[in-house]
Amino acid sequence: MRIDGEDDIIAVRRFVREFAEARKFDSFATAAITTATSELARNALVHGGKGIATIAEVADGYRVGIRIVFEDKGPGIADLGRALAGGNSTARTMGLGLSGSKRLVDEFDIDTKVGAGTKVTVTKWKRY
Q: Which is nearer to Mg ion, 39 or 65 (CB)?
A: 39
Cα 103 from Cα 126, distance rounded (Å): 16
Residue 65 binding result from ligand ADP, Mg ion, none, given CB thresholds of 5 to 8 Å by partner type = none
CA-wise closest residue to 95 among 42, 54, 25, 53: 42
If you compute the radius of gyration of the chain from its CA atoms, what whole number of angstroms results? 14
Q: State the binding partner of 44 from ligand ADP, Mg ion, none, CB within 5 to 8 A by kind.
A: ligand ADP
- The smaller minimum CB distance to ligand ADP, of residues 59 and 78, is found at 78
Let me know: does 40 contact 108? Beta carbons within 8 Å.
Answer: no
**Do residues 102 and 70 lie in contact, with contact meaning Cβ atoms separated by under 8 Å?**
no
Residue 109: CB minimum distance to ligand ADP, A: 13
| Residue whose CB is nearest to ligand ADP in the complex, by number | 97
- Using CB under 5 A as the criterion, which residues of the chain lie in contact with Mg ion when the complex forms? 43, 97
